[in-house]
Amino acid sequence: MRTQVAIVGAGPAGLLLAHLLDRAGVESVIVETRSRVYVEARIRAGILERSTVDLLREVGLGERLDREGDQHRGIHLHWPGERHHLDFVDLVGRGVTVYGQTEVTKDLGRARDAAGQQVVYEVADTALHDLDTEHPFVTYTTDGRSERLDAEVVVGCDGSFGPSRAAVPNPVTWERTYPYSWLGILADVAPSTDELIYAWHPDGFALHSMRSATVSRLYLQVPHSTDVADWSDDRIWSALDARLGLDGWTLRPGPVTEKSVLPMRSFVQQPMRHGRLFLAGDAAHIVPPTGAKGLNLAVADVALLAPALAALLRHKDSGPADAYSDVALRRVWRCTHFSWWMTTMLHATGDQFDAQLQRSQLQWVASSTAGATGLAENYAGLPIGF
Ligand code: PHB
């Protein structure tokens, strides 16, 4: 098979890139190790920045998002005995949209189906070749057959465990593994809050998020080695109640339909390019979920990369492609910092000095316009290209 851009990975980064390239007159083929059902069911955060929503609308992906997405003006910051609403719209003129990553992925999949996009699911043994020439190619097996996909450019949208990241020779990497994980649940119960609650508590962080009027998404900070089997539904709801509790407010428990433990990690690999290989999304960077930045960062990467590849392949202009890594990394580091900052402000470390600093910082963020504006500007998102 031959195409202009071989995309490795059919998550939101790969699918959106294919969509943007198609609109710019560039052809692509996507290969993906997982099945479509798996990719579309993979649960991730659900907070879309304004620039993400604007882009999705602009490229014809806004219809269901506008109908089903929930507009939030801000978030609640909570610690024992206190809850403060930060109104991002008042502070920085924009809020966020609550719409699950699974839904974005499904919308993208349907749009690519309608356009006749080639996506080869359930491939194995994916390998990238001749990346420092103008004729790179990808090999893989499907149904026991070996296949070769020739291209002019390869884009790795295959996450931090895929082969693309590892195909960049001698990268510089930065990594921080946080000494705790999140236990996440989905529950068939109406959210007990209008907007997300981020809670600091001496037992550990808790987050009340949501997916719809009838489905809640909640998280608890837990130790690294946590086994979900040790967390009965009752134990989860009583820990959530203890950490999120407030006089005059009740947390409605409900049937838990999904339970999983998520590691917390920051990771950046630089550069996001090697020859004719470009990296986008989690293939180049991982953020802990506290700032809900993962999907938004992937969208920002491909929003930059698609026009850069169109300039390279259609007009032989390599300027934007040459600038891609440096430009993308500015935003990557901003979001890496913000995600680290939110994480370290909100998670219990067991250290009493840390706890005092966290309480002081939360108090400042919640009560000073300068402090609140910093959080709001980053959470609601900086413009693409920042
Ligand atoms: C989620 O809804 O899954 C979610 C929301 C906000 C976060 C992380 C996860 O910061």
Q: What is the pLDDT of residues 308-328, one digit of tens each?
A: 999 999 999 999 999 999 999
Q: What is the pLDDT of residues 239-270, one digit of tens each?
A: 999 999 999 999 999 999 999 999 999 999 99
Which atom of ligand 1 is found nearest the CA of 46?
2
Q: Ligand 1, atom 3: nearest CA belongs to which residue?
A: 45
User: Does ligand 1 have an atom closer than 6 angstroms to the CB of 216?
Assistant: no
Q: Give distance in angstroms: CA of 210 to centre of ligand 1.
A: 8
Q: How many alpha carbons lie under 13 Å from residue 185 in its C-beta half-sphere?
A: 27
User: Does ligand 1 have an atom closer than 6 angstroms to the CB of 290?
Assistant: yes
Backbone region of residue 122 per phi and psi (left: phi > 0; alpha: psi in -120 to 50; beta: other values): left
Given a cut of 80, is residue 21 above it in pLDDT? yes
Which atom of ligand 1 is found nearest the CA of 210?
2
Alpha-carbon distance of 164 to 156, in angstroms, equals 5
Give the residue from 136, 163, 151 showing the smallest Cα distance to 6. 151
- The CA-atom distances, in angstroms, between 155 and each of 17, 137, 245, 278, 307 are 9, 11, 46, 5, 13
Helix H or strand E encompassing 333: helix 319-346
Q: Does pTM top 0.85 for this prediction?
A: yes
Domain with CATH 3.50.50.60 in the chain: 5-46+100-171+271-348
Residue 225 tokens read as 């080695």
User: Does ligand 1 have an atom closer than 6 angstroms to the CB of 77?
Assistant: no
Beta strand extents in 42-136 (DSSP E only)? 47-48, 70-72, 74-79, 82-87, 96-98, 118-120, 124-129
User: Does ligand 1 have an atom closer than 6 angstroms to the CB of 287?
Assistant: no
Q: Give distance in angstroms: CA of 292 to centre of ligand 1.
A: 5
Give the residue numbers marked as catalytic. 72, 198, 289, 293, 379
Domain with CATH 3.30.9.10 in the chain: 176-264
Given a cut of 70, is residue 202 above it in pLDDT? yes
Q: Partners of 177 in the beta sheet?
A: 265
Protein fold of 176-264: D-Amino Acid Oxidase; Chain A, domain 2 (3.30.9)
Widest pairwise Cα distance in the chain: 65
Helix (H) and strand (E) counts in the chain: 12, 20
**pLDDT for position 44:** 82
Instruction: Provide the CATH number for the domain formed by 5-46+100-171+271-348 in this structure.
Output: 3.50.50.60
Q: What is the pLDDT of residues 126-152, one digit of tens each?
A: 999 999 999 999 999 999 999 999 999
